[in-house]
Amino acid sequence: MFFMEPIIDFFRHLTDTSDWPPRWQCGTWTEFHGWLYIVSDLTIWLAYMAIPLILIRFLLIKTGVPMSGVFWLFGAFILLCGMTHLIDAIIFWWPAYRLSALIRFLTGVVSVATVIALIRYFNVALGLRTSQEYERELVLRQQVVQELARSNQELQQFAYIASHDLQSPLKTISNYLGLLEAKYGSELDTDAKRLINVSTAASERMRTLINDLLNFSRVGNRTDLKPVNLNQSMAEIIDEYQSDIQASGAQIEVGPLPTIVVHPTDIYQIFQNLVSNSLKYRRADVAPHLHIRSTDKGNHHLFAFSDNGIGIDQQHYERVFQIFQRLHGRNQYTGTGIGLATVKKVIDVYGGQIWLDSAVGIGTTVYFTIPKEINPIQHHEPTRSLHPSD
């Protein structure tokens, strides 16, 4: 309590100037000496006021500045230093020495805090890169991007040539097997006919696999994006699968879909594969029911494909998006194991996300997002997430 009394008395008489005369009356001041002191203090005060204002404007305009707290502390320190010079000039007429002492005390506190912050963030500051270092990194990144573009072009050419060279002998095998069956079918026994049918089916599966691999390799190489009406794309896909829909008695409900800026083939592959899977992986004696909907989420669209199929066990949620990963044998369901991998790759390339929610024996809902604005850089740097962002 004894310690508090002087403090209370200090603040009670904070602006009281009766205890001291103005500085002009202390000692012998000449006009030149006095005004030189005053003008110098005011000049320093103006400079000290300008520095924090420039710092504040910089922090408000330049978002994401590292160690912004140090900037704020330094600005406060400079501002208070300027205030001490302003008070020194005012004291020539108004001897507010208590107020001057308070400002100097606050200046000391903030200066100590600034020193502590500088020491604390010293190692972080050493790790900050200079503009020259960023320029060197940018040049290296550009070289890497050019190398990747060249490598992707070579891989695409290789994939096309390989698929062509592989399909040619397959086509020959399939044709000769057909000719063999047509010409000598009546002379062949049951086992021979079965071998011909198995070989023909295997060659067709191989051809399908090669085409799927070629499509998978092309994902991300198409840069001619344009507006695509998804309602029209969905109508074309339903027409394409009309025979399967009628044979299975499937019902497909499509909510209003947006028009988005993508490559038509890419988005067609997504919708086609998801519709195909819903029709393929259906429960026995249960007509497929597929519900497709879209929700506007501001900067992206959220799509959901819900079916009443066989469902997927939770432990396989990520596996189904990996290439060549099949959960069922070919004798149960046809396919190459590339469809969902292609879907994920397309969505990754566009900077979206894909995940699913499923229950075995009840059905599956596949969710995916597509940004409204595709970043050209992001279009060539696929993400890895299989889960929605928070």
- What pLDDT is stored for residue 57 in this prediction? 82
Q: Do 72 and 59 touch, CB atoms closer than 8 A?
A: yes
At 171, phi and psi to the nearest 5? -65, -40
* Highest mean predicted confidence (pLDDT) among 11-25, 130-144, 162-176, 243-257: 243-257
Q: Provide the residue type at 180 as one letter.
A: L
Show me where the domains of the chain are located: 4-127, 222-390
Distance in angstroms (rounded) separating the CA atoms of residues 339 and 366: 13
At 359, phi and psi to the nearest 5? -140, 130
Distance in angstroms (rounded) separating the CA atoms of residues 181 and 190: 12
pTM of the shown model: 0.51
Residue 230 pLDDT greater than 90, yes or no: yes
Mean of the pLDDT values across residues 118-140?
Answer: 78
CATH 3.40.640.10 given to domain 222-390? no
Strands (E), 83-197: none
User: Which residue pairs, CB below 8 angstroms and at least 24 apart, start in 143-151?
Assistant: 145/380, 148/380
Sequence length of the chain is 390
* Highest mean predicted confidence (pLDDT) among 95-104, 199-208, 374-383: 95-104
Q: Do 248 and 200 touch, CB atoms closer than 8 A?
A: no
Q: Tens of pLDDT along 72-96?
A: 888 888 888 999 999 999 999 999 8
Q: Tens of pLDDT along 312-339?
A: 888 878 878 876 666 655 566 665 667 7
Distance in angstroms (rounded) separating the CA atoms of residues 170 and 191: 22
What's the pLDDT band for 199 if we cut at 50, 70, 90?
Answer: confident
Q: What angle do CA 227, 243, 196 make, to 5 degrees?
A: 115
Which is nearest to 225 in space by CA: 370, 354, 367?
A: 370
Tokens at 321, concatenated: 């998006």
| Cα dihedral across residues 132, 138, 144, 149: positive or negative | negative
- What pLDDT is stored for residue 219 in this prediction? 65
What's the pLDDT band for 42 if we cut at 50, 70, 90?
Answer: very high
Number of helical (H) and strand (E) elements in the chain, helices listed first: 11, 7
Q: Across the chain, what does the average pLDDT equal? A: 81
Distance in angstroms (rounded) separating the CA atoms of residues 74 and 68: 10
- Strand, helix or coil at 116? helix
Mean of the pLDDT values across residues 217-222?
Answer: 61
What's the pLDDT band for 381 if we cut at 50, 70, 90?
Answer: very low
- What pLDDT is stored for residue 383 in this prediction? 41
